[in-house]
């Protein structure tokens, strides 16, 4: 009998957690809401919603919203509640060869702080990890936050990330087979809060969330720069492939992308002190003689790889990101002209406008997805059908 009672107690607790997540999800979707409005939206009884609202308020996840000063009806107005987006934060990180980009966001996705730091070119893999740890601590402390105030961290790295979270191949020195989440675990207790992902995969998440792909669900985000690779979204979901290698175009030598990169040498010689891709983008924007021709030759070399993607996936939209996205409008007609003879039809092309924050913004989105899964009970494979009155 005692076992049965414990089981029933566990079931009731799980039911309350499920119902709480449903109410919380409704308030995250639309705030403020009255108890009656929440009851209607969730299908729960008013007494159940009242009890859940009290519990969520006690946990600090929701709060009573102020009553508007105008338009009040006679009598006591119904209480309205809102989700406390400020109750927690997530961090998006882009750590590449040359710089670290950090974004801090509330639970509603509003970016409240940002930082960018250069990485010494001679830094070892271990030194880069320590630099990242130090910058993260300083970044959070500057906002009056401690690591436990961060609900999740999404980190983009320039390489393939396997299904276990280990970095399988990467251009950062000494990072192959690295479990970066575990290395950062001391700073953020509980490695499930640290999510490591390929940087271009995060870029396509960012484009779908707040960039050029907001209205498209089948998207290829092609990174044009020192590395040429692609992030893929199919039916509105990130497509990583079975082992995290989807979109790694630059690996196939037959595409000749390594030779294509040599076209940047012209720009590097004309504008010393900058990376070749930065220099080419700057030269095109300033109208320097010959710059547009170099860009066109580069895009002609990239076109077969992009065409292969288009023929295999037939995406609704191809977003051009990376360093050369700073060129802007000239990119799309030049690439479109080269794709025409290679494809059955040329997809819509768009240039990313997210700049250097694109990958870190995708890290924010990835971290928010993890928070939402946790709040809705999906983090441990929970698949309950819906809320019920307890």
Q: The tokens of 40 are what?
A: 């209607």
Asked if 271 and 311 sit in the same domain, the reply is yes
pLDDT digits (tens, 9 = 90+) for 334-365: 999 999 999 999 999 999 999 999 999 999 99
Do 100 and 113 fall into the same domain? Answer: yes
How far apart are the C-alpha atoms of 67 and 84, rounded to whole Å?
16
Contact assessment for residue 32 and residue 65, using Cβ atoms and an 8 Å cutoff? yes
At 38-50, the pLDDT tens digits run: 999 999 999 999 9
Asked whether residue 8 is assigned to any structural domain, the reply reads yes
Q: 148 and 50 share a domain?
A: no
Please give the Cα distance from 201 to 155 (Å, whole number). 11
Residue 6, pLDDT score: 38
SS3 state at 3: helix
Identify the band that residue 262 occupies on the pLDDT scale cut at 50, 70 and 90.
low
Residue 42, domain CATH: 1.10.10.10
Q: What pLDDT is stored for residue 15 in this prediction? A: 53
pLDDT of residue 189: 80
Using CA atoms, how far apart are residues 227 and 74, in angstroms rounded to an integer? 65
pLDDT at 190: 64
Parent domain of 42? 2-86
Q: 356: how many CB neighbours lie within 10 A of its CB? A: 14
Among candidates 213, 205, 240, which has minimal Cα distance to 368?
205
Over residues 164-219, the pLDDT tens digits come to: 889 988 888 789 999 999 999 989 886 578 999 999 999 999 999 999 999 999 99
pLDDT of residue 9: 41
Boundary of a domain, candidates 43, 58, 86: 86
State the alpha helices, DSSP H only, in 238-330: 257-260, 265-270, 276-285, 291-313
> CB of 42 within 8 A of CB of 22?
yes
Question: What is the rounded distance in angstroms from the CA atom of residue 232 to the CA atom of residue 246?
Answer: 7
Q: Which of 19-23, 51-55, 96-100, 212-216 has the lowest mean pLDDT?
A: 19-23
Q: What is the pLDDT of residue 169?
A: 80
Would you state the pLDDT for residue 223?
93
125 and 151 in a common domain:
yes
- CATH label of the domain that carries residue 137: 3.30.420.40
The model's confidence at residue 147, banded by pLDDT at 50, 70 and 90, is confident
Cα–Cα distance measured from residue 246 to residue 267, given in angstroms and rounded to the nearest whole number: 31
Complete DSSP assignment for 309-373? HHHHH--SEEEEESGGGGG-TTHHHHHHHHHGGGSSSPPEEEE---GGGHHHHHHHHHHHHHHHH
Domain termination residue (choose one: 202, 224, 251): 202
Residues 82 and 93 in one domain: no
Tell me what pLDDT residue 274 has. Answer: 58
Give pTM, 2 decimals: 0.86
- Is the per-residue pLDDT at 18 higher than 60? yes
Angstrom distances, CA of residue 242 to CA of 7, 9, 35, 54, 245? 38, 40, 44, 44, 8
Cα 139 from Cα 225, distance rounded (Å): 28
Instruction: Answer whether residue 270 shows pLDDT above 60.
Output: no
Higher pLDDT, 388 or 106: 106
What local confidence, expressed as pLDDT, does residue 319 receive? 98
pLDDT of residue 346: 97
- Does 109 map to a domain? yes
Looking at the fold, whether 127 and 250 belong to one and the same domain comes out as no
Q: Which of helix, strand or coil describes residue 43?
A: coil
């Amino acid at each position: 009998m005692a076992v049965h009672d414990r089981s029933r107690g566990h079931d009731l607790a799980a039911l309350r957690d499920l119902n709480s997540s449903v109410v919380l999800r409704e308030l995250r979707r639309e705030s403020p809401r009255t108890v009656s409005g929440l009851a209607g939206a969730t299908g729960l009884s008013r007494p159940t919603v009242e009890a859940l609202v009290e519990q969520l308020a006690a946990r600090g996840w929701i709060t009573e919203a102020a009553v508007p000063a105008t338009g009040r009806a006679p009598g006591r107005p119904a209480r309205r509640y809102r989700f406390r987006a400020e109750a927690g934060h997530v961090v998006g990180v882009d750590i590449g060869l040359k710089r670290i980009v950090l974004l801090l966001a509330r639970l509603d996705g509003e970016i409240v702080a940002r930082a960018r730091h250069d990485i010494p070119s001679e830094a070892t893999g271990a030194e880069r990890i320590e630099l990242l740890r130090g910058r993260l601590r300083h970044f959070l402390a500057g906002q009056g936050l401690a690591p436990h105030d961060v609900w999740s961290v999404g980190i983009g790295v320039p390489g393939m990330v396997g299904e276990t979270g280990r970095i399988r191949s990467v251009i950062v020195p000494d990072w192959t087979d690295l479990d970066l989440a575990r290395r950062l675990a001391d700073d953020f207790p509980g490695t499930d809060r640290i999510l490591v992902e390929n940087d271009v995969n995060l870029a396509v998440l960012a484009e779908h969330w707040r960039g050029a792909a907001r209205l498209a669900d089948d998207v290829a985000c092609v990174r044009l720069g020192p590395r040429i690779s692609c992030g893929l979204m199919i039916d509105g979901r990130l497509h990583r492939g079975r082992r995290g290698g989807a979109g790694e175009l630059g690996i196939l030598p037959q595409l000749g992308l390594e030779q294509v990169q040599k076209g940047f040498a012209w720009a590097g010689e004309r504008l010393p002190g900058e990376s070749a891709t930065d220099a080419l983008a700057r030269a095109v924007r300033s109208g320097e003689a010959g710059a547009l021709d170099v860009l066109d030759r580069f895009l002609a070399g990239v076109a077969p790889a992009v065409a292969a993607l288009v023929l295999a996936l037939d995406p609704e939209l191809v977003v051009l990101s990376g360093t050369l996205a700073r060129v802007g409008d000239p990119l799309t007609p030049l690439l479109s002209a080269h794709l025409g003879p290679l494809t059955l039809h040329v997809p819509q092309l768009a240039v990313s406008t997210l700049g250097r924050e694109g990958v870190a913004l995708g890290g924010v989105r990835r971290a928010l997805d993890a928070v939402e899964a946790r709040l809705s009970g999906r983090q441990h494979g929970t698949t309950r059908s819906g809320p019920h009155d307890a």
